[in-house]
Structure 1
Amino acid sequence: MVDTSQERMFIMGNTRREFTPEFKDEAVKLVINTGRAVATVARELGVNEATLGRWVNLFKASQDAGEAGITETEKAELLRLRKENADLKLDRAFLK
């Protein structure tokens, strides 16, 4: 017989939540623009404090590195558009 608490820990340990770039951007904006603590915002959003802290630090580092104004949402869209552009070029080449 398996101890149910160990079984739950095993199942929970393998579950990884994915967050959209839009969600990450909004969470970071809540911390940056309101001046509220990372822990408070993380608790309200149901996100691990360390995870939100990492997102905020990445945002601040990108601002310091001169990537002013480009958000996770914009990065995701840029990648999507580049892929779409490559696919369209292949389609065009095939049709020629």
Structure 2
Amino acid sequence: MMGTSKRRNRYTPEYRREAAHLVIDTGRTIAAVASEIGVGAQLLGWWVQQERERVEGGPDGPLEVSERAELERLRREVAELRMDSELLGKAAAFFASKQNPRSGSR
């Protein structure tokens, strides 16, 4: 077959790191972020793995052990706060619907 070779997109290291951090920093799924930015989930998963290894890459990595521990603690806290916020939003919507005038049912 003629012309079966496919031109590959070239992504800069900065773009790959930023894309990986859309997953790492936000807690969103690889599939959701990949769909949003238009890259394959497997490719984005590879970038996420590489970035996690770069950031958490042992004693020679750019972060001190205490900094890595603090970063992990903060990521957990952000995830918990997001869940709390979502729950509060649902509760507020529920109670707001209860404040509507009764429609004669009772």
More RCO (CA 8 Å, sep 6+) = 1
User: For residues 25 and 14 of structure 1, do their structure 2 counterparts lie closer, same or farther at Cα, with a shift above 3 Å needed?
Assistant: same
Counterparts of 1:25 and 1:18, CA distance in 2: 14
Counterparts of 1:7 and 1:42, CA distance in 2: 30
Match of 2:37 among 36, 39, 45: 45
Equivalenced residue count is 61
* Same amino acid, percent of matched pairs: 38
The alpha-carbon deviation at position 22 of structure 1 amounts to 1.6
5+ long unaligned stretches in structure 2? 64-106
Structure of larger gyration radius: 2
User: For residues 62 and 45 of structure 1, do their structure 2 counterparts lie closer, same or farther at Cα, with a shift above 3 Å needed?
Assistant: same
Aligned to 2:103: none
Per mean C-alpha deviation after superposition, the further-off stretch among 57-66 and 21-30 is: 57-66
5+ long unaligned stretches in structure 1? 1-5, 70-96
Could you tell me which amino acid in structure 2 is paired with residue 57 of structure 1? Q
Counterparts of 2:8 and 2:36, CA distance in 1: 19
Give RMSD over aligned pairs: 1.9
Counterparts of 1:47 and 1:7, CA distance in 2: 26
Match of 1:25 among 4, 17, 22: 17
Question: Larger helix proportion, structure 1 or 2?
Answer: 1
